[in-house]
Amino acid sequence: MKPAPKPPLGIQPRYIHECHRIDEIHKAINRFICADHPIPLEWIAEYNELVSRNKE
């Protein structure tokens, strides 16, 4: 008797994806700071939104 086939791989849970996204934004902001470049406001807004959402 053959074992039942495994279902296909799904997607990452949202909170894990958002934690990775927060980390990537944080690293990008630090790179821009080190290079004396202005930080895009969109990055700051997204970072703040994700951080506040993950605290709930």
Digitized pLDDT (tens) for each residue of the chain, 56 residues in all = 888 889 889 999 999 999 999 999 999 999 999 999 999 999 999 999 999 988 76
Are the CB atoms for 38 and 32 separated by under 8 Å?
Answer: yes
pTM for this prediction: 0.80
Q: What 3-state DSSP class applies to 13?
A: coil
Nearest CA to 48 out of 20, 27, 22 is that of 22
Residue 41 CA to residue 20 CA, distance in Å, equals: 19
Give the SS3 label for residue 50: helix
Determine phi and psi for 48, rounding to 5 degrees.
Answer: -60, -40
